[in-house]
Structure 1
Amino acid sequence: MSAAEATGNIAALHRFHSATNSGNPGLVARAIDELAAPDMVFHAPVPLGATGAEALKRVWEVLLRAFPDIHVTVEETVAEGDKVVSRNTVSGTHRGEYRGLPPTGKTVSYGEIFVFRFVDGRIAEICGVVDVLTQLRQLGALPS
């Protein structure tokens, strides 16, 4: 993969994060349609009955409903070959139901790392780790 392709993949990922940070579900869905392959492979817990880009849309629907002010801060991005790794800090205020928890009004801040594999400029595969333990502790769902 050329340096130009790697740069394009990083730019695509930044466009995706820009959309997610908008708080606009329609903009997020359009960005996913543009940037993710419909048959994208998503290695993460996803809503039942959803696969590919549709699963990613559902995840963001849940997150935006629960944390309308959600913000992903990209701390570090590394690209090699057809992959881009993004280490992020996610923050937001719990204003809607999330994982069975009614809104608490509490603010969360937690880390995540995702590996995105690109094919022809679109996300073909996502593999990631999200610090859900910290998130749930901050929401009061688990003891500190």
Structure 2
Amino acid sequence: MSDYNKRLVEHFIQLSWNTGRYNLLQHLVTHDFVYHTSFAEGFKEFDGFCDYLKDIRHAIPDIDVSIEELMAEGDKVISVSTFSGSFEKPVFGMQPNGKIVSFTGISTWEVRRGKVKSQNTLVDIAELQRQLMVPAQRKVG
């Protein structure tokens, strides 16, 4: 089962981030799929996740997500990935610099009955800001 779940996550990343094939991607998720990321507030259902992807793929049209590490046990999968591409258009208040950016994301995945039920991603926002030369915001208190 763990090997199947790893292949499922690999396929999910390929269809979503690397090719933007949302109609095919829909067949890989449960009806109650939920996505959360440190990059944006709140949780997103499948359609919201696709909108989020479209925004990023519009800003970084040649985005490529390379899986660096993939671990699975039971119905849980953890992926460590590198996101890279040319940042060409504004997204989420960040201004493009026309340069290639590269940052890490770590995701935890939950699989139910052979489909992705949830994905939670922690993005190295500080590294992305450094590459864009945006000062990191500090919280006081």
Counterpart contact for 2:37–2:123, Cα < 8 Å: no
Q: C-alpha displacement at 1:122, in angstroms?
A: 0.9
Q: C-alpha displacement at 1:101, in angstroms?
A: 3.1
Matches of 1:43 and 1:57, distance apart in 2:
12
Provide the residue aligned with 2:86 in structure 1. 93
Residue 122 of structure 1 aligns with an amino acid whose one-letter code is K
Query: Do the aligned partners of residues 31 and 142 (structure 1) sit closer, same or farther apart at CA in structure 2, a change above 3 Å counting?
Result: farther
The alignment's TM-score, normalised by the length of structure 2, stands at: 0.84
Structure 1 unmatched runs, 5+: none
> How many residues in Structure 1 have an aligned counterpart in Structure 2?
134
Structure 2 unmatched runs, 5+: 137-141
The alignment's TM-score, normalised by the length of structure 1, stands at: 0.82
Counterpart contact for 2:70–2:79, Cα < 8 Å: yes
Matches of 1:57 and 1:6, distance apart in 2:
26
Matches of 1:51 and 1:43, distance apart in 2:
6
Q: 1:30 aligns with which of 15, 23, 36?
A: 23
Counterpart contact for 2:12–2:28, Cα < 8 Å: yes
Q: C-alpha displacement at 1:44, in angstroms?
A: 2.3
Provide the residue aligned with 1:16 in structure 2. 12
Counterpart contact for 2:63–2:85, Cα < 8 Å: yes
Residue 99 of structure 2 aligns with an amino acid whose one-letter code is K
Does residue 138 (structure 1) correspond to residue 134 (structure 2)? The answer is no
- Taking only aligned residues, the RMSD between alpha carbons, in angstroms, comes to 1.9
Matches of 2:78 and 2:88, distance apart in 1:
29
Residue 123 of structure 2 aligns with an amino acid whose one-letter code is V
Residue 16 of structure 1 aligns with an amino acid whose one-letter code is F
Misfit runs of 4+, over 4 Å: 45-48
Q: C-alpha displacement at 1:133, in angstroms?
A: 1.3
Per-residue CA deviation, residues 32-89 of structure 1 (Å, 9 max, x unaligned), is: 31112232122325477x7311222122111101101111110110000101110111
Q: Secondary structure at the match of 2:72?
A: strand
Between structures 1 and 2, the one with greater strand share: 2
Question: Identity of aligned pairs, percent?
Answer: 28
Matches of 2:109 and 2:30, distance apart in 1:
12
Residue 122 of structure 2 aligns with an amino acid whose one-letter code is V
